Amino acid sequence: MSFLHCRISQGDSLIWIKHFARRLGYPANMITLKFLGATGTVTGSKYLLRHGDQQVLIDCGLFQGYKQLRLRNWDAFPVLPAAIRSVVLTHAHLDHSGFLPVLVSAGFRGKVYCTEATRELCRILLPDSGRLLEEEALYANRHNFSKHKPALPLYSEADALRALEHLVSVPVGHEFSPAPGMTARMQLAGHILGAASVAIRCEGRTIMFSGDLGRPHDPIMRPPTPLGECDYLVVESTYGDRTHASADPRGMLADIISKTAARGGVTVIPSFAVGRAQELLHEIGQLKRAGAIPAALPVYLNSPMAVDATRLYVKHHDQHRLDQQACRELGQVAHIVNSVEESIALNRRRTPMVIIAASGMATGGRVLHHLKAFAGDARNTILFAGFQAAGTRGARMLAGETSVKIHGEYYPVRARIEMIANLSAHADGDELIDWLAHAPAPPRQCFVTHGEPAAADALRLRISEELHWPCRVPDYLEEVVLE
């Protein structure tokens, strides 16, 4: 067994690891990159950059979707957490940051570098994620539908709060050192507040991690900073196999909401609390002011963390296109649902309304209770406004399944299932190619990650044929030497 793939017990020290590496002849200047997630899926983003005995983890995300992917969250981590020098986060979404509490509980003691906005969003998202995991475990135990006795959360709110102590914000564009012999710099990637691409320089080589890239003409976020020169590139491919529809998403949103309300129905929108919720509020506010949907139609935002995240748009106005007045108006579009009791009360209403609730792919959170209440009525609409990872409830409902399993029971799906893909905060295939094409020079190697297999391979093919770059799609747990 080589040093690169050996398992080392938690009690072993970093000194022992260094000694072991030297005995095996592990070159002090060798740079390797190991793909610990976001291969064959859009979730679980984790990349381990190793320089000699220094290890830096870029992103630390949760696996979501298919059960076999979710089970990876419970596996022993492929690398000794105590041996990781630092973590660099590209942004706050849980598929990029949500595994941090597990990593810290397993022994990680280093710093977690990120932009200021990402740090502030993680302070909202991670504790909330821990609370939801605890609530879901309690619910499973109370209703006895879990195979595990007792059901336990992957991590708790307390675990998340401990993880937050490791976060250190760094200014965009400023150089920092995530480990001895490495320097790094972040540049804005669009997508959501604080989202960044990360360039790490080591031994004269630059490795660029795109993170999730936003769209050049997003109605709220500014476009991604152009790609600079790099030797190696890891690029996302969420929408690598498609182009966003040219249809006006605001018009589609107005049509769906208006028709649902005319039927006497409820529009339930599963939404990411950061990014998507704010865009939906902005668009619905514009539609009401224009008279495109009834001004009196009640809109509810059932996500406390989305409310907290919306307030950050005023503080970080340099990262988006909205002025301060538009930011303040975001908070006036919807009635805020603060308590569980208010959320339950919504489910008893049978009058037209719009409910925006986490989570975006219907994998957890309060939106599940709304689906249980409203998915069975043909007057209602379940509207998805972004990418649905394979294996998630959102993907299954869009595929036409007539029932959905929630909390151990199956519920009928008779509501209309709609999708507005071009509300996505991800660049599509053409926009990704355009971002890549502005590189001053081709990289030595491009790695396509963070996409379902068809999307990743489609982008790989386009990069190879249109840009003539060496390009490949790595496998899960594959490790490559950066020559």
The pLDDT, as a whole number, for residue 12 is: 43
Whose tokens are 């030595």? That residue is 444
> Rounded CA gap, 337 and 369, in Å?
14
| Helix boundaries (H) for 194-339 | 249-262, 276-290, 304-315, 324-330
Regions in the chain scoring below 70 on pLDDT: 1-27
In the chain, the amino acid numbered 63 is: F
3-242+426-481 CATH choice from 3.60.15.10, 3.40.640.10, 3.20.20.70, 3.60.130.10: 3.60.15.10
The pLDDT, as a whole number, for residue 17 is: 46
User: Quick one: tokens of 482?
Assistant: 């950066």
The pLDDT, as a whole number, for residue 24 is: 45
> Rounded CA gap, 100 and 155, in Å?
10
The pLDDT, as a whole number, for residue 203 is: 94
Q: Return the SS3 of 380.
A: coil
The pLDDT, as a whole number, for residue 202 is: 96
Q: Please name which of 259, 425, 424, 247 lies closest in space to residue 354, comparing C-alpha atoms.
A: 259
Phi and psi for 168 in degrees, rounded to 5? -130, 125
In the chain, the amino acid numbered 76 is: A
| Helix boundaries (H) for 264-384 | 276-290, 304-315, 324-330, 340-347, 367-374
User: Quick one: tokens of 218?
Assistant: 């997003």
The pLDDT, as a whole number, for residue 219 is: 87
User: Quick one: tokens of 336?
Assistant: 């805020």
The pLDDT, as a whole number, for residue 307 is: 77
**Residue 236, number of CB atoms within 10 A of its CB:** 28
Element (H, E) at 87: strand 86-88
Separation in Å, CA 231 to CA 53, 200, 440, 461: 21, 10, 11, 20
DSSP-derived secondary structure letter, 211: -
Does the bond joining 359 to the residue before it have cis omega, within 30 degrees of 0?
Answer: yes
The pLDDT, as a whole number, for residue 469 is: 98
Q: Are 385 and 423 in contact (CB under 8 A)?
A: yes
Q: Are 354 and 299 in contact (CB under 8 A)?
A: yes
Q: Return the SS3 of 222.
A: coil
Contacts of 361 (CB under 8 A, 6+ apart): 64, 65, 270, 387, 388, 389, 392, 393, 394, 395
The pLDDT, as a whole number, for residue 26 is: 53
Separation in Å, CA 228 to CA 233, 249, 443: 10, 31, 10
Fold of the 249-423 domain: Rossmann fold (3.40.50)
Domain positions in the chain: 3-242+426-481, 249-423
Element (H, E) at 113: strand 111-114
Q: How many residues does this entry show for the chain?
A: 483
